[in-house]
Amino acid sequence: MNNLGLLLKAYMRTSFGFNKARYTHEKRTKSTGMTVLMVFCYAVVIFAVFGICVGLMSSLAPLHTEYMVLNLMMVAASVMVLFTTIYKVNGTLFGFRDYDLQMSLPIRTGTLIASRILVLYILNALFVLAVMVPAGVAYAIIAQPAALFYPFFILTFLAIPLLPIIIATVIGTLIAVAASRVKRKSGLSVVLTVAAFMVFMIVWMTFWTNSGDIMLDFADVGDMVNGVVTSVYPLAALYGNAVGSYDVLSLLLFLLVSFGAFAVFTAVVAKLFKRLNTSITTTRAAGDYKMTELRTQSPKKALYQRELKRYFSSSQYVLNTAVGPLLLVVVAIILLVSGVDGLGTYADIPGFDYFLTVNAPLAIAFFLALGSTTAVSVSLEGKNLWIVRSLPVDTRLVLKAKLNVSLVLYIPTIAVCGTLFNLALSPQPLYAVMTYALPLVYGLFIALFGLKANLDSPNFDWTNEVTVIKQSKPTLLTLLVGVVLVAVPAIFAAMAGSFVIVIAFAAVTALDILLYRSLMTKGAAQFERF
């Protein structure tokens, strides 16, 4: 196998834990649980996309314009690639942890660059696959296209991720370079990344609040939506003509623009690779050193500040765990400013006001369940684990410090958004209290369960933070358990009202107590064995 293949093989095996699962003697690491979990989540996304596409295409079938849905899905996949790649660039293509080690290997720099670009492409192709393949299957069933559709669809599929990768790499690199040129580069990187995310969320929420109209009357507004999509992203027009009308010229232009731009992008990256990596990885002094009085702190406070600094030192860490609270703030503001009517067509559903009022506490809890700081906090210790393990402090204080970071994120969010929800919905006193109390016990559960999951399945051998933050078993498991724990009572809350909310509060509180006791005993012992 050539060097390029070896680099790709090594990265994939390390990122997804294949080597550890294959060669370790630990039974828990050899388990197939992680594989089953990832396949399940991937399958859920595929079936959800397929169902949406079938519904939209069925409404367009009488007009024979089903290809418009392919246009929409192509743009959706491109936006997904764009957003997820922005914060993967710093750590995958530039600024990766083992840069010095890989540059010292007896391989050409061009081979290393090619491997990193291919890694970005492969990871994003998986996103595109989950969106475009079910959309293509739905199109084949509903529209029954000619045989020429299939080779056209496959060729365009290969090219879809290319342009979004280029745009995302430029944005991500600019953020990383801008942050690297200031003293507090981690803080600036977090601010810029979160700002980009908030812009994306505002645009997405604007579309979401009107998505009901689009779903109900897609046959009437299909041309308008397609026009907006193609005007915002011109490649979508070429794509639609290629797969919908079998236009060879549109196909060639689509491939030429995508692969041509990617070739230019690769050449530019090759030229700037060393310079950008040096700039991003260079450490700059945070300030002039001055002799001052030595300050002392309690172990509890020192450990908490250590965890907080680690959290804000990584834009990937912040964004992945703060996505729920940030989205919750946007929803709460829309609800306060526009009322229930601000949620678009959903406000016209009979009984929606009551449903939203009853489920407001669970809605807040749902957003908190979308990310957990503790689910990766142990793994992110990495090769520095020995430092915290050698400290002369009670291990329970270390675990409590990790929990406190989650609570610092959750408690202000619950206080602010709970108040906004209450002002917007004017619920009964019990629901008003539960708007604060229920999300609080759910947030504590997410923090406790995430830490427990990470202690059970740690990964200290990572070379890229994204591997731990986005692709680890504790992250996915905590997300699924949290969402299920919210969904089950939400199904019955609209029927039984306050009774279900009170039962959910009592049940989750009991789980919190059990998990906390387990962490302070068995969890502390697990951490000491690492």
Model pLDDT, residue 516: 95
- Average pLDDT over every residue of 89-115: 77
Instruction: Count the neighbouring beta carbons within 10 Å of the beta carbon of residue 57.
Output: 22
Closest CA to 123 of 22, 11, 199: 11
Q: What mean pLDDT value characterizes the chain? A: 80
524 burial (CB, 10 Å; 0-12 / 13-18 / 19+) is middle
Closest CA to 332 of 259, 419, 247: 419
Q: What distance in Å separates the CA atoms of residue 332 and residue 339, rounded to the nearest whole number?
A: 10
Residue type, 513: I
Examine the pLDDT at 494 and tell me if it is beyond 80. Answer: no
- Average pLDDT over every residue of 468-485: 86
Is 372 in a helix, a strand, or coil?
coil
- Residue 107 pLDDT class (50, 70, 90 cuts): confident
Instruction: Count the neighbouring beta carbons within 10 Å of the beta carbon of residue 385.
Output: 16
Model pLDDT, residue 215: 47
Closest CA to 57 of 130, 174, 142: 142
Whole-prediction pTM: 0.70
Say if CB 374 and CB 441 are below 8 A apart: no
Model pLDDT, residue 102: 77
Say if CB 67 and CB 433 are below 8 A apart: no
- Residue 513 pLDDT class (50, 70, 90 cuts): very high
Distance set, CA 432 to CA 48, 396, 506 (Å): 34, 34, 17
Examine the pLDDT at 233 and tell me if it is beyond 60. Answer: yes
Write out pLDDT tens, residues 250-264. Answer: 999 999 999 999 899
Geometric angle at alpha carbon 16, from 165 and 314, rounded to 5°:
60
Report the share of the chain in percent with pLDDT over 70.
78
- Residue 298 pLDDT class (50, 70, 90 cuts): confident
Read off the DSSP letter of residue 521: I
Model pLDDT, residue 202: 62
Q: End-to-end distance of the chain based on CA atoms, in angstroms?
A: 36
- Average pLDDT over every residue of 490-499: 75
Is 94 in a helix, a strand, or coil?
strand
Burial readout 37-52 (b: 16 or more C-beta within 10 A, e: otherwise):
eeeeeeeeebeebbeb
Q: What distance in Å separates the CA atoms of residue 161 and residue 132, rounded to the nearest whole number?
A: 11
The residue ranking higher by pLDDT, 179 or 484, is 484
Is 493 in a helix, a strand, or coil?
helix
Model pLDDT, residue 472: 80
Examine the pLDDT at 30 and tell me if it is beyond 50. Answer: no
The residue ranking higher by pLDDT, 175 or 489, is 489
- Residue 191 pLDDT class (50, 70, 90 cuts): low
Burial readout 85-118 (b: 16 or more C-beta within 10 A, e: otherwise):
bbbbbbbbbbbbeebeebeeeebeeebbbbbbbe
Largest CA distance in the chain: 79
Write out pLDDT tens, residues 44-78. Answer: 888 888 888 888 788 777 777 788 888 888 888 88
- Average pLDDT over every residue of 271-299: 72
Model pLDDT, residue 331: 84
* 200-204, 304-308, 419-423, 500-504: range with lowest mean pLDDT: 200-204
Say if CB 240 and CB 226 are below 8 A apart: yes
- List helix spans (H) across 33-108: 33-60, 67-86, 89-92, 99-103
3-state secondary structure labels for all residues of 232-290: HCCHHHHHHHHHHHCCHHHHHHHHHHHHHHHHHHHHHHHHHHHHHHHHHHCCCCCCCCC
Say if CB 90 and CB 176 are below 8 A apart: yes
- Residue 505 pLDDT class (50, 70, 90 cuts): very high
* 11-25, 475-489, 499-513: range with lowest mean pLDDT: 11-25
Model pLDDT, residue 214: 47
Q: What distance in Å separates the CA atoms of residue 3 and residue 19, rounded to the nearest whole number?
A: 19
Say if CB 364 and CB 421 are below 8 A apart: yes
Q: What is the CA radius of gyration of the chain?
A: 25
Pair of tokens at residue 130: 């989950």
Examine the pLDDT at 313 and tell me if it is beyond 70. Answer: yes
3-state secondary structure labels for all residues of 111-174: HHHHHHHHHHHHHHHHHHHHHHHHHHHHHHHHHCCCCCHHHHHHHHHHHCCHHHHHHHHHHHHH
Q: What distance in Å separates the CA atoms of residue 41 and residue 409, rounded to the nearest whole number?
A: 26
Model pLDDT, residue 137: 92
- Residue 212 pLDDT class (50, 70, 90 cuts): very low
Examine the pLDDT at 219 and tell me if it is beyond 50. Answer: no
* φ, ψ for residue 94, nearest 5 deg: -130, 150
Write out pLDDT tens, residues 108-160. Answer: 878 888 888 888 888 888 889 989 999 999 999 988 888 899 999 999 999 99
- Residue 289 pLDDT class (50, 70, 90 cuts): low
